[in-house]
Structure 1
Amino acid sequence: MDWDKLRIFHAVASAGSLTHAGETLHLSQSAVSRQIRALEESLGTTLFHRHARGLILTEQGELLFDATKAMARRLEAAEARIRDSREEVFGELRVTTTIAFGTLWLAPRLKALYDRYPDLNIDLMLEERVLDLPMREADVAIRMKEPSQADLIRRKLMEVRMRLYATPAYLEAAGTPERIEDISSHRLVCQNTSAPQVSAGARLVQLLMTHDVRSRLTVNNYFGVLQAVLNDLGIGVLPDYLTQDFPQLVRVLPELESEEVPVYLAYPEELRHSRRIAAFRDFVTEEVIAHRRRMREGEAA
């Protein structure tokens, strides 16, 4: 099978248009069309349905497109390894983590990484869905549990606990609870237990709800919970890594907290020697060590 024709087919299938594919490949529309017809003739099948608004893959076209997508991913991985064999750290690094950790802990610290490697481009993908690293949906992940996928290198970074926090202004107006039963007279701000989140946080919320909480605000991520707490709406269930960056928060019912939530960094085995991965891994590890030290100092104080 002609590799050049497969490259043109992949561009057309991705763009859904001969014209757009031609612009990407720097070829005329007629040249692209000829190559597609030649590929269809060599395979003895039709790969596209032609419509006025563009091209749609046939069933056979879908099968071939799945194959060319897999080829493209392997070529990208090979290109990354070849580039990273040099001394420089540059190019794109796709990082996935949860909305809360990425927004509230990781993103504010990335300036130090960019200062060190100004030619590095990070694509930060924040979502609760677990992306498939072996299929290269992302290059590296930070997850709130140990990854279960095979062929991953993983490193435990730290542990997180969910605790209760409020602002001094809220506590001055509503009073400070002394016992867990007192939570019934306060507004609880938390994630809905049905929302994607770590199970330890959901269990802590479920425990609090057994104490007749009459007023509550639920948000589907911890960033929203934090914003509500900072604006004096109530007592929030939040991860403890926030305390350094938001020192105005006051811990409420300090004897109450969730079980430990492990935080892992993971990346595919095939990227073991990637300099971009190594640079990001070492940077995050350094930041975690500094974070732990400051937390110990804060607790001691």
Structure 2
Amino acid sequence: MLDWDNLRIFLVMARSKSLTDAAKKLGIDHTTVLRRMKRLEAQVESPLFERNTLGYLLTPQGQRLVEYVEKIETRVHELADDLGGVNRSLAGPVRLGATEGFGSTILAPQLASFCRLHPAITVDILTVPRFVNLPKREADLAVIIERPQTGSYVVTKLSDYRLKLYATPAYLERNVPIRQLKDLDQHAFITYLEDLVLSDELRYMNSIAPNAPRKMQSSSVIAQYMAARRGLALAILPCFLAQQSDDLVSVLDDEIDLVRSFWLVSPTELRHTARVAALWNYLLDVGQRNHAYLMGTTTQQVFEGAAA
């Protein structure tokens, strides 16, 4: 019989890829972690990790075991929630994953009202330039830009949003005039790092200006926005982000008009937990009342209680 405590330590080790980090997260000595992993490997009669310069990486057998243990972990969390009454109570923690720009500029201010409405619910916002890993319970629900094609999820469209090409007036004055799309080849761009772009939905340059030089690349849309505000180069930005600044004006407004979508997603087993359901419904309301703002046709966010 496998010891659940050893499996729990194994899962932390697999996610940390570091003996020291795993020990810190678990609150135990790193030699204990190592001893427990050797004991588990003896029980399953297979090596679970191989060590290299990147840390402790899973072997094929270790990867298979992770998949089983994550399913057990999910059931353990569900059982704890159910026995504690959390599934039926508007109380407890909810972790929300989101793309960086949307999470920082839309969700953070909008969730202030949600927290006042539900003082017993605590909200963690995970804003990172990548997709959160819902199967590993990095978040209970997430706002993403690519609808999941596989997995046991509840998914709905939150809202469409628009992107435009932006620059500062000063940049436009000191550079070659932009009158048509082919003029963009003479201008530098601020854009995403090609090898770190999280979705094909963000590969705007391929269709707008595939031959234009890249002046700066970043995995962060906030970094791109800040550099564009300083007049460094042109940047394709979400309207909801760019329109917060008077420093930026749209370029080729009639020709460059990109529309993408935000999707709200949650694992099926968590979607109807009371606290998750409350946040889910609130986010749908945020998307509905701010559709015009996300599409760039208004310049002011609408908050709960304000006239639409």
Q: Same fold (TM over 0.5)?
A: yes
Between the aligned partners of 1:99 and 1:206, the Cα distance in structure 2 is: 23
Q: 1:120 aligns with which of 111, 119, 122?
A: 122
User: Does the 8 Å contact 1:165/1:236 carry over to 2?
Assistant: yes
For the pair shown, the structure with the greater C-alpha radius of gyration is: 1
Aligned runs of 1:99-248 on 2, under 5 Å?
99-118=100-119, 119-128=121-130, 130-174=131-175, 177-210=178-211, 213=212, 216-248=215-247
RMSD over equivalenced CA pairs, Å: 4.2
Identity of matched residues, %:
23
- Structure 2, unaligned runs of 5 or more: 14-18, 50-57, 301-308
Between the aligned partners of 2:208 and 2:143, the Cα distance in structure 1 is: 28
How far 1:60 sits from its partner (Å)?
A: 9.4
SS at match of 1:85: helix
Partner letter of residue 6 of structure 1?
D
Aligned to 1:84: 86
- The count of corresponding residues between Structure 1 and Structure 2 is 274
- Structure 1, unaligned runs of 5 or more: 50-56
Task: Name the CA shift for 1:296/1:45 in 2 (closer, same or farther; >3 Å).
Answer: closer
Between the aligned partners of 1:174 and 1:48, the Cα distance in structure 2 is: 57
Per-residue Cα deviation, 1:255-277 (whole angstroms, up to 9, x for no partner):
13254322110111111321222
Per-residue Cα deviation, 1:34-77 (whole angstroms, up to 9, x for no partner):
xx99x999x7979999xxxxxxx999999877655532321112
How far 1:249 sits from its partner (Å)?
A: 2.3
Deviates more, 1:64-73 or 1:99-108: 64-73
Between the aligned partners of 2:44 and 2:151, the Cα distance in structure 1 is: 38
How far 1:240 sits from its partner (Å)?
A: 2.3
SS at match of 2:290: helix
How far 1:147 sits from its partner (Å)?
A: 1.1
SS at match of 2:203: helix
Task: Name the CA shift for 1:274/1:231 in 2 (closer, same or farther; >3 Å).
Answer: same
SS at match of 2:252: strand
Per-residue Cα deviation, 1:63-103 (whole angstroms, up to 9, x for no partner):
87765553232111233355433442322x23223333333
How far 1:120 sits from its partner (Å)?
A: 0.9
Between the aligned partners of 2:204 and 2:129, the Cα distance in structure 1 is: 21
Task: Name the CA shift for 1:261/1:209 in 2 (closer, same or farther; >3 Å).
Answer: same
Provide TM-score, normalisation by structure 1: 0.70
Partner letter of residue 267 of structure 2?
P
How far 1:184 sits from its partner (Å)?
A: 4.0
Between the aligned partners of 2:132 and 2:6, the Cα distance in structure 1 is: 27
Task: Name the CA shift for 1:135/1:11 in 2 (closer, same or farther; >3 Å).
Answer: closer
How far 1:164 sits from its partner (Å)?
A: 0.3
Q: 2:3 aligns with which of 6, 21, 31?
A: 6
